[in-house]
Structure 1
Amino acid sequence: MKSELTEKWWQTAWAKSAWVHLGIVLGLTISSLSFWPKPTQITLSGEAGAASSTPPPPAPVEAVAIDKDVLEQRVAEIKKQQDDARKAEEQRIRDLERRAQQAERSRAQEEARLKRVAEEKRKADEAAAASRKAAAEAKKQQEAEAAKARTAEQQRIAREQERKKAEEAAKAAEAKRKAEQEALAKAQAERERQAREQRERAEQERMLQEQMAAEADARRRARAQQAVTEVQRYTAMISDAITRNLIKDESTMRGRSCRLNLRLASNGFVTSVSVVNGDRAVCDAAVRAVNRAGTFPMSQDPDVYNQLKDINLTVAPEF
């Protein structure tokens, strides 16, 4: 910028002003010479030979008588012309000076304008440099803030992802807990149902067992009663068989008795007979009667047989 504003010395403002003033002075000098009246030469014919060595003079002017008034008038006109010319020249000089002053003012104004322009340009350059620097700083700050914002956004996204993962994990844990709780509740309900069913089955079995026991007891009592009856009936039949085979002697047996023990097979066969106690004569006759009978009637009912297979009987002959 400094090289653009620097001018050669003959192109500077003061050099231009000097050239203008020098031109004005030269112009005034030339003008005064051009307007100054040339002297009238009157050449006499007698002088022609004296100037032989010089160029030939112009044609001689014939002498004319001049009126004094005309001459004064002519002189006055010339003087007036000179005055007018002088005034015109002075006016011209004033105009030139005015224009020179105007040019100087214009030059000064232009120089001031150029200085202002240069200063404004310098300030503009400084402002532009400051603006560029500020813009660079702002851009750097903006990039830093953008990087910070990106980092913050990435951190926010990471936190959001962590939060979502935590929420999903919490949801999964809650779902798992609920599922486990539901499974436990179902298992508990199933256990309670099974326990209830088991209790019900146990109760039913107990009731069934009680019913079966009652029925069995009833059957047992019935069978026992029946067995008693059967035992009594078969006992009576065995006693009748012994009585039929008994040889009685009224003189030795009246009022006497004998208690025997009989062991019988399932078909009623007598496997053994022994005397428990009693009268000897009656006991001997009773043993012979059992042996003669050999086999007695026997029930097919095992309960009845169990009561008859080892039985004690009392033999008391009647007369």
Structure 2
Amino acid sequence: MADKSDVTLPLSISAGIHIGVIIILALGVDFSHKPEPMQQVSAPAVKAVMVDQQKVANQVEKLKQEKRDTERREQERQAELERKAQEATKAREREQAQIKQLEQERKQQEVETQKANEATKLAQVKQQQEKAKAVQAETERKLKEQERKVSEEAAQKAVEKRKVEEAAAAKAEAVAAKAETDRKLKEDAERKKKAEAERKQKEDAANKLKDEAERKQKAEAARKQKADAEAKARAQQEQEMADALAAEQTALSQTMSKQVQSEMGKYQAMIKSTIQRNLVVDESMRGKTCTVSVRLASDGFVISSQTQGGDPNVCRAAKAAILKAGKLPVSPDPAVYNLMKEINLIVEPTF
């Protein structure tokens, strides 16, 4: 509606101006005088009337041409408006498509946000469940620890009772043993008296044989003395050579032993440090120790570990720390490894 009013107003103004011009021209004729008698119209007068009519015709044609031009411009303007309207429609369609795409993306983002929130809730629930399991495990551990203490107390009482019974049995056995000993002593005294008489007889015979043997021994001793002197000289020479070689071997062995001991000390310290890093301690372990026997592969892999004695809590923590480490430091020197492939360590928690 606004477009049509914009066109109608200029056309109305233009038509009004042209009509006004025609009326003015028409009013230019003087109607106040009475008509004069007809006279013969001369040629110039006819010519003037014709000229005026030609002007009017020209003016009318001009107005028609202006109207046609106005209509043509209006058509062109309408075509331009339609083109702009089509472009605006296409722009609105593109905008609607973009809005639809953005709405889809927003919905997708909402879905992803909802999934993320659900995943977070699930993780929180899982964490709470794990925490509850840990609390339950700790409660069960404490119950087992109490049961173990009760069992140990019962075992201790049983041991003490057994010791009392064993002491009574030992006392009874001691009385019986004393009686048996007295009997055996009496029998031994009689056997010794009889044996002494037999010994004296055998001793006399033996003395005779001994005198003969001594004579033979003196002769043999003289012969051996000469041979011993020769052997002694040879042995002394061999001993001197052996002593020199042994001294050299001892010095070399001491040097190597010091090196091996130093290397062993270094790797034992490294192994203890590794265990300490993985050791989970609590206040109940303060001042307590555990001896652990460990077998190691050549690459440090822990083949086995056994506790040899000590505080049970420290021993459990030590075995767990060794298992967690998996590998322990070992020396690349075969001699050091052979001495350390089975080692005993004293684990003492540090605070």
TM-score (norm 1): 0.39
- Is the radius of gyration larger for structure 1 or structure 2? 1
TM-score (norm 2): 0.36
Q: Which has the higher helix share?
A: 2
Q: Which has the higher contact order (CA 8 A, sep 6+)?
A: 1
